[in-house]
Amino acid sequence: MSSQKKTTTHFGFQEIPLQEKTKRVEDVFHSVANQYDLMNDVMSLGMHRLWKRFTIAESGARKGQIILDIAGGTGDLARAFAKIVGKEGHIILADINAKMLAEGRATLIDQGIVGNVSFVQADAEKLPFPDRYFDCITIAFGLRNVTNKLAALRAMQRVLKPGGKCLVLEFSKPILPLFNKIYDAYSFNIIPKLGEWICQDRESYQYLVESIRMHPDQEELKKMMEEAGFEDVEYHNLTGGGGGVA
């Protein structure tokens, strides 16, 4: 059996050289950064806001904790966590994309969230933090864009304190056959057109739809997290499996 390392990966439904994916994903989020929240509303029919509330509730976050929000976008989770942990705690909003990070910083400052939030440009596969540092780690709608998902999960496991929680919120595989058909029809026929109309960027939305289909399903992601060293891994299907938290 060949032991050669894989040299290609998927970018949506395309197969591309491994080294190209990070740049291509960066271009997508550079394009949609100003409309990121609207993009999530469009792609989830607004349900992402409820999914994020569920994620926050599942985190068990409390005053004084140190929490890492990876691929933090415009700071929805970071804002909520900052209020929970208070001035005794600290939140780090990390994102590999400089424009997304700037959007998140500007949004939180505008909302008066200052003092207990830091912003770090970081690659999820190579987190620049000490071992066993965070009480909780979240990544919402970001893992599917990472080139090496297992490497990213291992990096998260490394910086998580023993007994801490890591929560992955992601679009997932619907478990209801009829909903799955409706979901596919909406995703492939409507979302790219809305992307073209809202952002004048059909291609980025086409990639985002395809990236959801290429992301590991619930059971596969659970196995990946266990392989990365996480224990007591479980997942929750949200909205019939359209979204999921592991």
Q: What is the pTM of this model?
A: 0.87
Q: Tell me if residue 102 falls in helix, strand or coil.
A: helix
Domain residue ranges in the chain: 16-173+211-245
Contact by Cβ (8 Å): 168, 143: yes
How do the pLDDT tens digits run along the chain, 246 residues long? Answer: 444 577 888 777 788 788 778 888 888 777 777 777 777 787 777 888 888 999 999 999 999 999 999 999 889 999 999 999 999 999 999 999 999 999 999 999 999 998 999 999 999 999 999 999 999 999 999 999 999 999 999 999 999 999 999 999 988 777 777 777 887 788 888 888 887 887 787 888 888 888 888 888 889 999 999 999 999 999 988 876 655 666
Neighbour-count burial of 29, counting CB atoms closer than 10 A to its CB (0-12 exposed, 13-18 middle, 19+ buried): buried
Q: What is the pLDDT of residues 28-51, one digit of tens each?
A: 777 777 777 777 787 777 888 888
Under CATH, what is the fold of the domain 16-173+211-245?
Rossmann fold (3.40.50)
Give backbone dihedrals phi and psi of 120, rounded to 5 degrees, phi first.
Answer: -130, 125
Q: What is the pLDDT of residues 152-170, one digit of tens each?
A: 999 999 999 999 999 999 8
For the record, the structure tokens of 105 come out as 């910083």
Neighbour-count burial of 63, counting CB atoms closer than 10 A to its CB (0-12 exposed, 13-18 middle, 19+ buried): exposed
What residues have CB less than 8 Å from 176, skipping those under 6 apart? 240, 241
